[in-house]
Chain A
Amino acid sequence: MDAVYKKIKNEIAYAHSKTGFFRKHLEQAGLTLNDISEPSDLLKIPPTVKRNYRQGFPAAVIASGYNLKSPYVMRFQSSGTEGDRLVSVVLSYDLARRQASCISVNPTFSSLWRPGLKLRTCRFAAPNCSDVECANPNSTMESRMLADGTLVLPVYHDLLTTPEHMVNRALDEIEEYDPHLLFVDPTHFAFLIRAMKKAGRVPHKTDGFCIISAYTLCTQVARRQIKECFGDKVAFADMLGMSELGYIGFECLAGQQHINVKDYHIEFIRDGRPAKPGELAEMLITTIGDRLSPHIRYATGDLYRLSAEKCSCGDPAPVVRHEGRVKNVLWLHDGTLVTPKELDELIGPAAWIDMYQMNQTDDDQFTFQYMGNEAWTQQLENELLEKLKETLKTKNINCSTTNYLPADRGGKFMSCVSSVAMRADKRSLISWV
């Protein structure tokens, strides 16, 4: 038996024997463990989804023998996007192993694993991504310090309404805490950089620490601002992750996203079948060796394209491109899709844009709003608008500048939102979520 398949089969057997949810899940599908006898049988198991884990938490999804007070159990609370919340648990050493597996593809981050290093991390992201209420005006550094030594920096739920005193406090705390790692939402961090420049301040340093981008799509305009501010000596990379599982993938030195296949069995599924390389598909994850809360064929609601090519960096981990959330894709009038990543590729690092949001308000109705800067020209805007019209195959695009783009209620900022993609009939065409 293939060693990987054996591990997957063990995970399935463990989930079946130890969790009430998965046992019932297989029963409802009319399956027994004996029905899963070869790798292709995995496709018989109906994917599991977030609502199963929400509904089953904690009793039905935590393996028997564990509870929330068990040693090494870490609890995470995700507000999700559009209110699709979830409370989940993971063992701290599983989380650390997944993190290490992912980051190993990028040697510029190796300094974070120096023996004996007591890692200092600062996190700048939406409050609901941070497990603390960092938008509370009374919060102190002590009140925002997590058990693992991560300092959560103050920010408002609605990013662009973060007042100046909180921006300054965040910048002061970065200097004071002097982190080895800044773990940031890229849009949030680009905002902090703009506010820092506006206040006449400079980066606390431009060498000797690392920045990891996570939580939301790292738009090229956000990446440009971060790179311009911190230069090439600060290691910067984009991380793929989910609050319920931790690290899933990481960006290598060649700028490619590598997926972690040491700790997960990953499937890319389109129309119920394994996707071909390059084909847009939903990612399904099966954990390997998760003794606390195993996930089997967990439909992530994230769209990816798997590359058939080997990466020039030499790391053998499969290369993928994260295309965005199923709920955020743009549905064109002819039934084709434009993903948030494809949209971002179209916009590029645009030196004249600080932040943008595409909003599909209805079938064949789009609004593109952006925050411009001094590099803006009408010609640049016109050129982008023409490209958008061509790609979205419509003239119905309102394009305007703005000073304000709201964050999601959970605090995350989505660069691409679509009321059409939120419809159940559309989502079901490409996802189980």
Chain B
Amino acid sequence: MGLENCQADFPVLERLIDGQRVTYLDSAATSLKPRSVIDAMSNFYSQNGVNIHRGKYYLSEEASDSYERVRYSIAQYLGAYGNEIVFTKGTTESLNLVAYGLGLQQDDIVVGFLDSHHAQLLPWRRAANLKLVNLNSDGGIDLDHYHELLKLKPKVVVLTHCSNVSGNIAPIEEMTIAAKEACDAIVVVDAAQSMPHPHLRIDVSKIDVDFVAFSAHKMLGPTGVGCLYGKSSRLNELRPLMLGGGMVDWVDTEGSQERKIPHRFEAGTPAIASTLGFGEAINYLKRFGEKKSLEHTEELTEAIIKGAMERDYIQLLGTKSTENRCAIGSLRIKNCDDLSDIARSLSDSYGIMCRTGHMCAQPIVDEQMGDEVLRISAYIYNTTEEIERFYQSLDELVSFLGLV
């Protein structure tokens, strides 16, 4: 099975809204779910549905086995060990867990990036002294500024592998080497936007990162579950964010003994069905080779850039090259003060679903575009024809709205 015919695996794409088919261009927010992922979750509830790691009864052990197999599967996908995979609610919780668990002091320096998601800015700002790396004149990362900030000997460097606003892919391997050489900083990677793409998969056995955070729902899996990869030595030093059942071996009136990694970070009953769906999403993604994934992404990215560059009324955020870029286009429509009419009309009149706002990355959006943007983001089930149709629809709309 190839990318070219995978649309058939996504039930949502069969749906007609007011008689028209759906064109989904908001995958940077969340991806659609293939049937196998839905079936995995549904199967859990119809055939099992019980808690894990608690009971000795058959169903509980069966559920526990399935749940832990997902952990192993993710570990293998990343080149990590099984005990280095922590299940969380998503990227945001993963990053908060690291930011608060490292025991940083307010005057400790953390180097972050302007194109980061709020989840990669706010926890670090609260926990320490966050310094942001600027963008260069092309809209890419200013690596000179990054190297300048490394001279401050930051304790932590928080990288965004792929920006959810510009689609820019950061050279994380080079940046990690620089951070280690400069001051042996702890390197934390937000891979929420990159991990969905097989060609951008991070192999932690080859890149010396300490933590990697990502979410299932952006990579064909369900919402409410994500992952934190952490080097075992780092996880052993990390303080759990949540305390409660499931993360202790022993509790008495005087104290408690925490469980081994990774279970000490997984207090409470987890999203079991979603985790099983996560595992199936990984299985689904494994079917696509890195080469195909890269080619498809480049085709979509080229269509996004080309469409924007051909229109005077559009300003595109970020670099204008397909190289090191994902198929994300954040657009400013000139003379448009309120993008909500455009987003609503694209949806209701053309069946095109895309997003408006600050994309949870307000610093970069405000700095580069002055205000909110209209964002299209494409994924494996999208085609270049859909991107072209988006721009043609936009042409009609801006004309009727009197914007050009």
Contact = CB atoms under 8 A, between A and B. Distances in A.
A406 B76 contact: yes
A181 B150 CA distance: 56
Nearest to B261: A161
Given A138-B250, A163-B232, A403-B205, A158 B65 contact: no
Nearest to A406: B72
A404 interface: yes
A83 interface: yes
A29 to B, nearest CB: 26
B184 interface: no
A120 interface: no
Contacts of B69: 406, 409
**Interface residue range, chain A:** 20 to 34
- Pick the most buried of A138, A361, A409: most chain B CB atoms within 10 A of its CB: A409
B10 interface: no
Nearest to B286: A361
Contact of A138 (B64, B80, B82, B249): B249
Contacts of A160: 81-82
A137 interface: yes
A50 to B, nearest CB: 13
Interface in B275-322: 283
Contacts of A163: 232
Nearest to B62: A83
A327 B378 CA distance: 41
A402 interface: yes
B280 to A, nearest CB: 12
B79 A404 contact: yes
Contacts of A369: 76
Contact of B80 (A82, A136, A137, A404): A404
A409 B68 contact: yes
Interface string B230-242: 0010000000000
A85 interface: yes
Nearest to B84: A161
B390 to A, nearest CB: 35
A68 to B, nearest CB: 16
- Pick the most buried of B83, B205, B250: most chain A CB atoms within 10 A of its CB: B83
Contact of B72 (A156, A158, A361): A158
Interface string B261-282: 0000000000000000000000
Nearest to A137: B260
Contacts of A136: 249
Interface in A375-422: 402-406, 409
B76 A158 contact: no
- Pick the most buried of A160, A161, A369: most chain B CB atoms within 10 A of its CB: A161
B356 to A, nearest CB: 41
B11 to A, nearest CB: 21
Contacts of A135: 260
A402 B83 contact: no
- Pick the most buried of A135, A138, A158, A369: most chain B CB atoms within 10 A of its CB: A158
B79 A402 contact: yes
A406 B64 CA distance: 15
Contacts of A83: 61-62, 65
Contacts of B76: 369, 402, 404-406
10 contacts: A82-B65, A83-B65, A158-B83, A161-B81, A161-B83, A404-B79, A404-B81, A405-B76, A406-B69, A409-B69
Interface of A: 82-83, 85, 135-138, 156, 158, 160-161, 163, 361, 369, 402-406, 409
Interface of B: 58, 61-62, 64-65, 68-69, 72, 75-76, 79-84, 205, 232, 249-250, 257, 260, 283
Which 6 residue pairs across A and B have the least CB separation, nearest first?
A406-B72, A161-B83, A409-B65, A158-B82, A83-B65, A404-B81
Given A138-B249, A156-B83, A161-B83, 5 more contacts: A83-B65, A135-B260, A137-B257, A161-B82, A361-B283
